[in-house]
A and B are shown apart, each in its own frame.
Chain A
């Protein structure tokens, strides 16, 4: 069952730069897909189109049955509630505790405190941070901060988890831990995961589907691929 369907999609920025060119891509529900490519290859633009940070200039991007390109600004929240996003730079609020950071999104959509609490604790348990609910981001290591970020992304049980270079700021061992957490979310919860990364070790070790993009063009799409395969592709 297709969860993401991208048809003949192009994205040309106002300055004339073509970030994505005639891209076709299908991702099934529950799949784990790496998007790899060099800097400025277009992978971040592709990721941004999935959560409607960018709109395609041409073609169609369907996410969970929603036509992202045709979504009006006022309705974007409907798409975003189905998606969790994890970034390289964590984007945690420094003045809020771990619990408050994870609960933040649920509060802003008007959920009751009694509903929020079990969801937040579940999410923190899943990322192994239940003991740090009262800690503040400055008291956590980089890996722990990224785990808080993942907990915040999955707290509302999204259908899709988008990760934009989630291990970019972490050392190899911490990166492995983070990947374990993301992999378990994919396997245990059935959440579709799309991850843009530069990390060759992770891609090679995980043996997941790998889509390679170069200059906005999909140059390969390999099941259980690795970074090395695509260097030669």
Chain B
């Protein structure tokens, strides 16, 4: 009960302090708000990039064409070698007869042409899916080296460019978010520093009357948390309404049907929660830095 009483009292004091040093609090909250809007934007972009990459991964495969003279036993050997790869996810064999039937089904002219030929000019193939699209090039290279393999293709140039761009964007996003979080923590630390100075008499009296150090520090940490959480309100509103409007405006697809956006319900609540947690934690981190540095007990 005593601990709860102290916590409630400190929470009340922290709230009071936020309003007592209103201009200072507003400055911190504004900085947190701007940072968290950018953090939210980064998370939304990253999540959609990840979603797009995953969709791409579902579709990207390596088509392996086998030499004309590969028999069933040799084909089995090639399949076994492919399954041995670390990046292997699954494979599907399609014989040249199946290819022929499929092609004949799609066009009558093609069907007539293929019927006209004495031998089937098509090749047996194996469609290979890998776990991570980053492994496509390496896996294709390995398969090309297998005996009995004529070619292994996956649309090299395009895929390599997409992977590179996504990789750069992902890393840049992480760096930007981390930098912004550090700047915010520093700003909160500065606000709390000034709060500590403005309450130095109170702190001195608390020390003199035998208040425990943890109880003296607690209001400042809570104040940082409150500033962080208040600073997350506007970014959350922007995330929720902004993303819904954005999603509806583009009908769930960006540029073409190839880039499908994540449904708002699957994204906005979790991003809002993350933003609020980041706000709170960054607030507490910033204030504990100030408390460690400036609150000499």
Contacts and interface: CB of A to CB of B under 8 A. Distances in A.
Interface of A: 51, 73-74, 76-83, 85, 91, 93, 104-110, 112, 152, 156
5 contacts: A74-B213, A85-B208, A104-B206, A104-B209, A109-B210
Contacts of A152: 205, 209
B161 interface: no
A156 B207 CA distance: 14
Contacts of B215: 108-110
Given A93-B201, A110-B3, A73 B213 contact: yes
A82 B210 CA distance: 8
B6 A110 contact: yes
B201 A81 contact: no
A113 B207 CA distance: 20
Contacts of A107: 9
List the 4 shortest-distance A-B pairs measured between CB atoms, nearest first. Answer: A105-B209, A80-B210, A81-B210, A110-B2
Interface string B206-223: 111111110110000000
Nearest to B216: A108
B208 to A, nearest CB: 5
Contact of B211 (A77, A83, A85, A112): A77
A104 B205 contact: yes
Given A80-B207, A80-B208, A110-B6, A93 B202 contact: yes
B253 to A, nearest CB: 58
Interface of B: 2-3, 5-6, 9, 201-202, 204-213, 215-216, 297
The B interface is mostly helix, strand or loop, or mixed, namely helix
Contacts of B3: 110
B292 to A, nearest CB: 13
A77 B210 contact: yes
Nearest to A82: B210
Nearest to B207: A80
Nearest to B10: A108
Contacts of B297: 73
A108 B9 contact: yes
Nearest to B297: A73
Contacts of A85: 208
B204 A112 contact: no
Contacts of B209: 80-81, 104-106, 108-109, 152, 156
B205 A77 contact: no
B279 to A, nearest CB: 28
A78 B210 contact: yes
Contacts of A110: 2-3, 5-6, 9, 215
Nearest to B206: A108
A83 to B, nearest CB: 8
A91 B213 contact: no
Nearest to B199: A93
Among the interface residues B208, B209, B213, B297, which one has the most CB atoms of the partner chain A within 10 A?
B209
A97 to B, nearest CB: 15
Contacts of B205: 91, 93, 104-105, 152
A1 to B, nearest CB: 23
